[in-house]
Amino acid sequence: MSEPEGGKRRVFLKVLGGTLGASAFAYAMAPLRAWTKDLSAEKFLQKHYKELGKEEIQKVIARVERETLEKYGAKVKVKDQKPIEGVEFGYALNLSVCIGCRKCAEACHVENNHDRKTNNSYIRVLEMDQGSFDMARGDAQYDHAVPAPGKYYLPIQCQQCDNAPCVKVCPVQATWKEPDGIVVVDYDWCIGCRYCEAACPYHARRFNWTKPEVPAAAVNPDQGILSNRIRPQGVVEKCTFCLHRTREGRLPACLEACPTGARVFGNLLDPKSEIRWVLENKRIYVLKEELGTKPRFFYFFDV
Amino acid sequence: MCDGPRETREKTMQKDSHVATYPRFLLRVFSGAFDGGARFYVTMTVLTAIALVGANAWAQQVANGMHLTSMTDHVSWGLYIANFTFGVGLAAGAVMMVIPAYLYDDHEMHDVVIVGELLAIASIIVCLLFVVVDMGRPDRFWHIIPGVGRFNWPISMLTWDVLVLNGYLLLNLHITGYLVYTRFRGDKPAKRWYVPFVFLSIAWAISIHSVTAFLYSGLGGRPFWNSALLAPRFIATAFVTGPALVIVLLQGIRRLTSFHVGDGPIRTLTSVMRVTVLLNLFMLGSELFTALYTGGAHAASVKYLFFGLHGHRGLVPWIWTAVILNVASALLLHLPQTRKSLGLLDLACVCAFIGVWIEKGMGLIVPGFIPSTLHEIVEYAPTLTEWKITAGIWAFGVMILIVALKVVLPVLTGELEGKAPST
């Protein structure tokens, strides 16, 4: 820096280097441009579901409907189904009659607007060895006629735990338990850290590794803002006991699809409900009870 | 000893006010960051290039989705969280210079302790970047800012991690910033403005790595992580990698700058490592014994990691490399020849550093997911996108460290002073 000429050259080189560096950085970050186009200020600043007023939620719903039309070409009706007072949902599944046909998983796939390419579903069915409860001996990839001799079948979906590890670990309260017992996700609040996926002992959560693809004709237009509306890329989702159906008095899609009647769904607070009868009269088994998660999903046997 | 507040204040009064010196300090530090010899420019250009490749890969990952990684719903964390975990250890391990310097009044260590603090700063920034690139929705980053978003504190361990990591970053920025600035002005640093923070940072260093361990060990559904030994293991490995890197770093500083580095600090850090490498191997052995002797489902991940499970052996080469490196470093550190040879010592440090990077990264995060909670086996091997982003972040971290050392050390040696500008 002693010679003025050398100093000038140095400054020139620094400016040149800085300019080159800045343009290289802009070039490197270019892929983000398309992505930010989709990111409006309104979306960026959208509040948590629980903080939205009645009018604000209507705006969000209108936006989701508009985006579904623009991106998927499908006209859909999104609603904000609220929990019903005096109702707490429970689900039971009869392991003696389940034949492992996976119709429930298929119905879930269609009902909940899952990505078609990955054949995603909230239900996973394990083919288990007769005489064993050890999942290590189960197989989720079986591909043969069912029921196979010496086997029984264990469908697993979100257990809607009362002491849910996924709710505990979420750093931003993007997932919580509703008064009717259903654990939901605010898809517009989730930051996609996937801590809940690590915490869940039942493999109940799914992440949107890319934008879900559903052909317009296949989109289920009957949607809930906290349930089966098409999820954005980069967020976590899960089974909601089909709350867009069940909170309107209908049954979950997986139950309707079951050909053997293995599934029983209903209001735990209603002493005359079928689910209460099952819980009071059958031998009940709860998955991984030792973890203290307190599931609302019960397995039973015909004995 | 005799730097009573009055004396300090009088001294300060005679000098320029902070309003004048602080901007000058920042300017000199900033211009110092971009000034150097040919070797400096070449190094920084190469590192910038690597960082940009990583930035580009990240931009694509955000735009197209995280299917560009090898992660799945079965293995939902991978290389990013592995490096995050390792980086937290590096940051915490740097405190192994602070403890002898301040707690045991080791004067030679005191002279070089700032190197550890700068390393902590760079490591924490690396950690935070690894968390950001692991997020599916980085645009929603503000949701996790306390008071602005919805912070699930104190229930979620991740919120604790946000607090302790950022707190540790601020603590170290304050301590180094204050010491360097006062040296720049030619003042004697007032103890009350940094000594309490130094002691706080010692406890805080332990907290960042314990909280990071609790992140995993608190999950009942993942038996591989659900162990009370995880936090102690994390601390032990932190005190392997932190000193290992600093030992090599101090030699580099001695060679490349006029900053005085005595033999004492290197000796002290080597003694620390002699204990911690063995402690780590012992704890690893205890975990292995407990899992394998008991057997059953709880041993499945350990079996997968070390021997493969049902023909799946993806992590076996990784973990045995780590074991060999960790044992090699333990042996080297206890060899009498290593006391005389810096070359052997450096080799031991490199072995330990890479060994722990594997053991605490790929060897800890990935097997937590294999087999899955439903005992399915889906394997994981990072994609090119993940390697690019990982390399980019580390390159950026090295740049921060180089620049930080480059602007701080001349101030400490008195080469860069805050006297009125000469020209």
Q: A172 and B65: CB-CB below 8 Å?
A: no
Identify which of B356, B358, B352, B355 has the alpha carbon closest to the alpha carbon of residue B332: B352
B192-210 pLDDT per residue, tens = 999 999 999 999 999 999 9
Scan residues 233-272 of A and list those with Cβ closer than 8 Å to B. Answer: 233-236
B251-261 pLDDT per residue, tens = 999 999 999 99
- Is residue A72 one of the residues assigned to a domain? no
**Total of domains in chain A:** 2
A27-41 pLDDT per residue, tens = 999 999 888 888 889
Q: Rounded to a whole number, what is the distance in Å from the CA of A123 to chain B's nearest CA?
A: 12
The dihedral through the CA atoms of B237, B238, B240, B245 has a sign that is positive
Pair (A150, A271) in one structural domain = yes
CATH level 3 topology of B23-413: Formate dehydrogenase/DMSO reductase fold (1.20.1630)
CATH of residue A247: 3.30.70.20
- ipTM of the predicted assembly exceeds 0.90: yes
- Is residue A105 one of the residues assigned to a domain? yes
| Residues 6 or more apart whose Cβ sits within 8 Å of residue A277 | none
Task: Find the residue in A nearest to B153 (Cα).
Answer: A171
Comparing A234-243, B77-86, B406-415, the range with the smallest average pLDDT is B406-415
Scan residues 101-160 of B and list those with Cβ closer than 8 Å to A. Answer: 131, 134-141, 143-144, 149-152, 155-159
B223-233 pLDDT per residue, tens = 999 999 999 99
Whether the ω angle into residue A147 lies within 30 degrees of 0, i.e. cis, is yes
Scan residues 179-198 of B and list those with Cβ closer than 8 Å to A. Answer: none
The percentage of chain A sitting over the pLDDT mark of 90, rounded to a whole number, equals 90
Q: Are strands A124-129 and A151-156 parallel, antiparallel or unpaired?
A: antiparallel
Pair (A22, A96) in one structural domain = no
- Is residue A42 one of the residues assigned to a domain? no
Q: Are strands A89-94 and A297-301 parallel, antiparallel or unpaired?
A: parallel
Q: A192 and B158: CB-CB below 8 Å?
A: no
Task: Find the residue in B nearest to A38 (Cα).
Answer: B63
Which residues of A fall within a CB distance of 8 Å from B151?
171-172
Residue A14 belongs to domain spanning:
1-30
For the residues B322-348, what does the mean pLDDT come to? Answer: 96
Q: Is the pLDDT of residue B357 over 80?
A: yes
Tell me, what's the pLDDT at B31? 85
Scan residues 156-215 of A and list those with Cβ closer than 8 Å to B. Answer: 156, 165, 168-174, 189-195, 197-203, 205-211
| Position with higher pLDDT, B137 vs A15 | B137
- Is residue A256 one of the residues assigned to a domain? yes
- Is residue A63 one of the residues assigned to a domain? no
Q: B219 and A205: CB-CB below 8 Å?
A: no
- Is residue A46 one of the residues assigned to a domain? no
Work out the mean pLDDT of chain B and round it to a whole number: 92
Pair (A282, A197) in one structural domain = yes
A263-286 pLDDT per residue, tens = 999 999 999 999 999 999 999 999
Q: Directed axis angle between helix B18-33 and helix B384-413, to 10°?
A: 130
Q: Rounded to a whole number, what is the distance in Å from the CA of B165 to chain A's nearest CA?
A: 15
For the residues A16-28, what does the mean pLDDT come to? Answer: 91
Confidence of residue A4 (pLDDT cuts 50, 70, 90): low
Pair (A97, A169) in one structural domain = yes
